[in-house]
Amino acid sequence: MIHAPQCWPPVSTFSIVARDSETGDLGIAVQSKFLAVGAVVPWARAGVGAVATQAWANVTYGPRGLELLAAGYSAEEVVALLTGEDPGRAERQLGIVDSQGQAATFSGEQCIPWAGGIVGDGFCCQGNILVGPEVVNAMADAYRSTTGTFALRLLTALEAGQAAGGDSRGQQSAAILIVREGGGYGGGNDRYIDLRVDDHPTPIAELRRLVMLHRVYFQLDEADLVPLDPPLVRWIGKQLHQLGYLAETEADAQTTLGALERFASVENLEARFRTDGQVDTVLLEFLEARSQDRAPELSP
């Protein structure tokens, strides 16, 4: 294993690695006072496991850890194997969750304090160069208590860690990686959500915005549909007229739907446009936000 040269900056990081018990999705969310943390820390493979490698990060822990998990080793066994053969293990930090939701975390005794981790049911949280143990404790509490999508729970854990003090050196980058079999674009890979904020004054807030946009563009849900009745057609027509898609404030349903389809195409929301007498509420929220010249207020 390669020992990280001391001229490289440590990935001063807090992260959560988890498995969603409802879907089997595996994911990692991470924030750091480090440029492009998403290019270093998170590694995951659907049906296999997820790995976060940080501090004086050994990036070989990612692919090697996934190989070992795929071979049937548990999270604890993989931590022991990876660190046992690494002469630089004293400066490493590692979090792993396997496909069964078993979790393990490791912090070398020479990681820059405060450094440590916590293991819960189906997840682990870890961090280094933190203000104190309250950061990982807050992350664990938030993940356990939050309901909603897996992405939302991971983001909420990051936000809780930051609210508790986070990285003692500040903020710079954040990332979220969630893998699902066939979950990538067109079903061609497992990268269900793979979003990074490489350099930003408030990276977790920006990451939340990107996750919301991912939901808008790629996550279609039948629960987001409502009947397209006459009052709603009139409301849609007014929004489209304000945006220049309709010449009249009120038009017939066919003309209004044609204008709504053009709007959806311009906004890359074609998949949310329907012709079956229903309309997607996410498309409506996006339309209202655009007509008011503001960002749509949607949750991940």
189 plus 268 within the same structural domain: no
199 plus 279 within the same structural domain: no
152 plus 232 within the same structural domain: no
**CA 275 – CA 254 distance, rounded (Å):** 10
Sequence-ordered alpha helix ranges (H) in 61-113: 61-70, 75-84
The last residue of one of the domains, among 152, 183, 216, is 216
The last residue of one of the domains, among 178, 198, 216, is 216
Question: In this predicted model, what pLDDT tens digit does every residue of 160-183 receive, in sequence order?
Answer: 999 999 999 999 999 999 999 999
46 plus 157 within the same structural domain: yes
103 plus 206 within the same structural domain: yes
Count of C-beta atoms within a 10 Å radius of residue 121: 12
Question: In this predicted model, what pLDDT tens digit does every residue of 13-54 receive, in sequence order?
Answer: 999 999 999 999 999 999 999 999 999 999 999 999 999 999
Residue 35, domain extent: 13-216
197 plus 228 within the same structural domain: no
51, 66 contact by CB (below 8 A) = yes
73 plus 198 within the same structural domain: yes
Counted domains in the chain? 2
**CA 49 – CA 41 distance, rounded (Å):** 14
Q: Tokens 């903020």 — which residue? A: 171
197, 203 contact by CB (below 8 A) = yes
Domain-embedded: residue 8: no
**CA 164 – CA 135 distance, rounded (Å):** 5
**CA 171 – CA 206 distance, rounded (Å):** 12
* 10 membership: H or E segment, kind and range: none
Domain-embedded: residue 296: no
- CATH of residue 175's domain is 3.60.20.10
Contacts with 30 (C-beta within 8 Å, 6 or more apart), sequence order: 13, 14, 15, 16, 37, 38, 41, 42, 52, 54, 158, 174, 175, 176
Task: State residue 35's pLDDT score.
Answer: 95
Question: In this predicted model, what pLDDT tens digit does every residue of 94-112 receive, in sequence order?
Answer: 999 999 999 999 999 999 9
The confidence band for 81, taking pLDDT boundaries of 50, 70 and 90, is very high
pTM of the model: 0.85
263 plus 165 within the same structural domain: no
Domain-embedded: residue 300: no
Question: In this predicted model, what pLDDT tens digit does every residue of 247-264 receive, in sequence order?
Answer: 887 788 999 999 999 999
For the chain, how far is it from start to end, CA to CA, in angstroms? 38
90 plus 172 within the same structural domain: yes
65 plus 144 within the same structural domain: yes
Count of C-beta atoms within a 10 Å radius of residue 2: 10
101 plus 207 within the same structural domain: yes
21 plus 53 within the same structural domain: yes
